Each structure stands twice: as C-alpha cells, then as structure tokens.
Amino acid sequence: MSLSDDILRDNAAILDRMLGHRFVEDVCADRLPTPVFHHYLAYEGAFVETAIGIFAFATARAPDLETRRWLIAVQDALANTQVPYFEGCAARLSLPAEPVKSPAARQFDTRMHDLAAQGDFAEIVTAMFAAEWMYWTWCSRAACAYISDPDLKAWVELHVDPAFEAQARWLKAAIDRYGAPQDRPALSRIFHDVTAWEIAFHDAPYDAMKESAA
Ligand SMILES: Cc1ncc(C[n+]2csc(CCO)c2C)c(N)n1
C-alpha cells in the first residue's frame, strides 16, 4: 500500500460523507436549486483565486525543478482556464451581488491559505490532493448523469477532463514520492481537516438560501 492509499483509507468515512453530500446528490439527480448553484459559483470563484496562491506556496517549497515546472502549469491552468469559466458565468448569469458574505465559504479560503502559508511541501500537496481527488471522484459520477443546466454541466466536465484527472493523480503520486511514511498521521490529519472544511463549504450555499428565505 502506498502512503496516499493509506491516507485515503484512514479517511474513508469522512470522504464518503463528502461524496454523499446533499450538493453532490442534488447535482447527480439534476435537482440542484439554481440559487444554490449561483451562490456556490460565487464562493468557488473566490476559492479558485486562492488556489493560485496555494500553488504558489507549493512552487516556492518544491524540492526540484521538475516539480516546479508542473506546479507553474497548474497555476497557469487555474488563471487561464478556471478563472475564465467564472468570468463567463458572471457575465451571463446574474450572480448574487455580495455573495462571499458566507462565513463558512470564507473560512474555507482562509484555512486553506493559512495551511499552505505554514505547511511544508508534502502538507500543501496533501491538502490539494484532498480537494482535487474528491472533486474528480464525485464529478466522474455526476458526468454520467443528465445535467440540464449548461453551466453546471460544463463545471462537472472541467473536473473529469483528462488534464484535471492528471493533476489529481500527480498530487497523489507526489505524496508517495515526497511524503515520509512516518508523516502518515500528520498528513492524514490534514486530509481529514480539509475534507471537513469542504463539507462546511458545500453546506454554505444552502444556508445562504435559508437565510434569504427567513
Ligand atoms: C471547494 C472546492 N474544493 C475542491 C475543488 C477542486 N478543485 C478544482 S480546481 C482546484 C484548485 C487546484 O487545481 C481545486 C482544488 C474546488 N473547485 N472547490
């Protein structure tokens, strides 16, 4: 068993909770309420910008040039593929005006940023592995379902694209290459924490709906 597989096994319960989250189930059943999706998009747009910074920390702490080159390409994909997706959505849809008021969504950004600012290379890679592996997994399932909203369909497809899959697999392999077996408890803990923050992040757009209805 590899270290990355050990980490996945250590976290099977919480990962299953995230993979069965209401948000994921709603997407797969083609019943995600549009206002929930639009709040989510606003939170996501902010996070993808944060992710550019997280990968910049990883680039700075990378152990070799080959790794740096890969991470620079990741930043390029985020800035020039993912961000334009959000710009396109914002231009076409009337997204909520001041959406990132959600404390849970903002907390996700802050915690991920702080973890990257303070973490060593293996810790940052593990945090992004938790975030990306989970997205690749649930989007692979969702991509088999009918999704009527074209923007949501495009978002799911972005995460089953071979380029995104390669990125998720690269993070997994990087844990095995650069993580030490004795780091398993600490890295598993990071995976656990990030997945817990993800659950709160995906609760947030539903909570925003409850508040606007109240
Ligand atoms: C809340 C949240 N968690 C995970 C992802 C998956 N993901 C897609 S792009 C990217 C940044 C690095 O490539 C990550 C982590 C997401 N989009 N939003």
The pLDDT tens digits for 191-206 are 999 999 999 999 999 9
Residue 185's domain comprises 3-209
Residue 214 lies in a domain: no
pLDDT at 180: 95
What are φ and ψ of residue 189, in 5° steps? -65, -45
**Nearest CA residue ID for atom 18, ligand 1:** 44
pLDDT at 100: 58
Contact 179, 126 (CB under 8 A): yes
Nearest to 47 by CA among 112, 138, 102: 112
Residue identified by tokens 């600490």 is 186
The reply to whether 198 belongs to the active site is yes
Whether residue 117 has pLDDT greater than 60: yes
pLDDT at 91: 85
pLDDT at 104: 87
Catalytic option among 44, 123, 132, 198: 198
Number of domains in the chain: 1
* Cα separation values, 78 from 50, 51, 115, 161, Å: 10, 8, 19, 14
pLDDT at 205: 94
Residue 105's domain is classified under what CATH number? 1.20.910.10
Residue 146 lies in a domain: yes
User: 214: pLDDT confidence band, cut at 50, 70 and 90?
Assistant: low
In ligand 1, the atom with minimum distance to the C-alpha of 44 is 18
Pocket test for ligand 1, best of 135, 137, 167 (most atoms within 8 A of CB): 135
Instruction: Please indicate whether residue 198, judged by its CB atom, sits closer than 6 Å to ligand 1.
Output: yes
Residue 98 lies in a domain: yes
Measured from the Cβ of residue 128, the count of other Cβ atoms closer than 10 Å reads 24
pLDDT per residue over 59-74, tens digit each? 999 999 999 999 999 9
Ligand 1 center from residue 128 Cα (angstroms):
8
Residue 27 lies in a domain: yes
pLDDT at 98: 60
Instruction: Please indicate whether residue 51, judged by its CB atom, sits closer than 6 Å to ligand 1.
Output: yes
* Helix (H), strand (E) counts: the chain: 11, 0
In ligand 1, the atom with minimum distance to the C-alpha of 132 is 6
pLDDT at 210: 79
In ligand 1, the atom with minimum distance to the C-alpha of 167 is 13
Residue 25 lies in a domain: yes
In terms of C-beta density within 10 A (0-12 exposed, 13-18 middle, 19 or more buried), how is residue 44 classed? buried
Residue 13 lies in a domain: yes
Whether residue 175 has pLDDT greater than 60: yes
pLDDT per residue over 2-61, tens digit each? 999 999 999 999 999 999 999 999 999 999 999 999 999 989 998 999 999 999 999 999
pLDDT at 121: 98
